[in-house]
Amino acid sequence: MNNSPYFRQPASVQSVMLRVLLALLPGIAAYVWFFGAGILVQIALASITALAAEAAMLKLRGKPLMMFLGDGSALVTAWLIALTFPSIAPWWLTVLGTLLAIVVAKHLYGGLGQNPFNPAMVAFALMIVAYPLLMSQWPRVDATDFAVQWEAIFGNRQVLDAMTMATPLDALRTVLRDPEQRAMIGGVLGTKATFGNVGGKGWEWIAAGYFLGGLYLLQQRIITWHMPAAFLATLFVISGAFALHDPERFAGPGFQLFTGGAMLAAFFIVTDPVSGATTPKGKLIFAAGAAVLTWIIRTFGAYPDGIAFAVLLMNIAAPLIDMYTQPPVFGHKIKGDDPK
């Protein structure tokens, strides 16, 4: 374009959501490679449930069905739910979590653009509180047989129990809290069945896939740099500081960033434009707060990965953060002054 005006064509909701789904594919591919195709079953279950629930709620609310059903927002929520739930969770757990996300966390607050809380994180938090045992059963890296995973998802409890293991975050937290084992970080991370070169075995490559997808979202200007940078930098600094202070008791930044849902949260969860802060400074504060709470819950809390609770707590604070970080009106140097 050689002549003004240089207006950008606004992106539609459908276009944005489709590119978010596309950005999740590298992480999903790594997930399938290391933990089997059970995750694809969970994504299908969550997607079908989300679209059915979305259609039912739109019908009840008298909204145009095809316009909202085709925008892709329900599918993004469904995929995030599937990726945060155990890939061999019973089918009904994924269906129930998705129904709660779409019906309660989204439509009871007014639908797309009105929800104060991230629907996928609401589903995760409710399910891990209600069914902590089922939400803690993750597959072993070598348990990738699709037929066995299918059997576990659709009801064979004995198969489910036989192919599970603790996640790296859970394993680390449990061993460090057991005084009889007198374990130190170095010895725990040397357990190659659970831990890889940087983070959890297999999980570090899944995190790398999410990182790659996040770079695509930045390149496409779907998200801005503020939240991913603030979340990852804060988690890096706080975990690095405590690891330097006591390297035998606190895991370092590499483990924190490439284990659990840190990369997924940095690029796909805290960046939710509806439930998060919207001002530039507010985005930095929101994401940094989520990172601090995540590290505190991981290190001292009852759950191995506290991202869902951290994000929901920051969702509560988002309106207040936005109110105190509003930039001055165009033509003013500071808020409330007279234009010069």
In this predicted model, what pLDDT tens digit does every residue of 226-244 receive, in sequence order? 999 999 999 999 999 998 9
Which pLDDT value is given to residue 12?
86
Within-domain flag for 175: no
Across the range 75-91, mean pLDDT stands at 95
Within-domain flag for 41: yes
Point out which residues pair with 200 in neighbouring strands: 195
Residues 83, 135: one domain? yes
Q: Considering only residues 18 and 158, tell me which one the structure prediction assigns the higher pLDDT.
A: 18
Within-domain flag for 72: yes
CA 234 to chain centre: 17
pLDDT band at residue 86 under the 50/70/90 scheme: very high
Interacting residues of 186 by C-beta distance below 8 A, sequence separation 6+: 247, 248
Interacting residues of 84 by C-beta distance below 8 A, sequence separation 6+: 120, 121, 124, 261, 264, 308
Residues 126, 230: one domain? no
Within-domain flag for 2: no
Q: Considering only residues 1 and 78, tell me which one the structure prediction assigns the higher pLDDT.
A: 78
Cβ 262 vs Cβ 227: under 8 Å: no
Query: pLDDT digit string (tens) for 15-71?
Result: 999 999 999 999 999 999 999 999 999 999 999 999 999 999 999 998 888 777 888
Within-domain flag for 139: yes
Within-domain flag for 317: yes
Residues 132, 25: one domain? yes
User: Read out DSSP for 225-275?
Assistant: SHHHHHHHHHHHHHHHHHHHH-TTTS--HHHHHSSTTHHHIIIIITT-TTT
Which pLDDT value is given to residue 70?
84
Cβ 36 vs Cβ 79: under 8 Å: no
Residues 18, 159: one domain? yes
Within-domain flag for 171: no
Across the range 285-314, mean pLDDT stands at 92
Residues 21, 153: one domain? yes
Interacting residues of 330 by C-beta distance below 8 A, sequence separation 6+: none
Across the range 238-264, mean pLDDT stands at 89
Residues 197, 238: one domain? yes
What does pLDDT average to over the chain? 87
pLDDT band at residue 215 under the 50/70/90 scheme: very high
> At residue 338, does pLDDT exceed 60?
no
Which pLDDT value is given to residue 335?
61
Cβ 325 vs Cβ 281: under 8 Å: yes
Across the range 180-203, mean pLDDT stands at 63
Which segments within 50-152 are labelled E, that is strand? 138-139
**Is 195 in a helix, a strand, or coil?**
strand
Residues 193, 143: one domain? no
Domain count, the chain: 2
Last residue of a domain, one of 102, 132, 165: 165
- Give the H or E element holding residue 165: strand 164-165
Q: Which domain holds residue 72?
A: 13-165
Cβ 53 vs Cβ 99: under 8 Å: yes
Residues 118, 228: one domain? no
Q: How far apart are CA 99 and CA 151, in angstroms?
A: 23
Q: How far apart are CA 325 and CA 321, in angstroms?
A: 6
Residues 156, 18: one domain? yes
Residues 133, 274: one domain? no
Q: Which of 49-53, 135-139, 216-220 has the lowest mean pLDDT?
A: 135-139
Interacting residues of 252 by C-beta distance below 8 A, sequence separation 6+: 239, 240, 243
Residues 140, 19: one domain? yes
Within-domain flag for 329: no
Residues 40, 161: one domain? yes
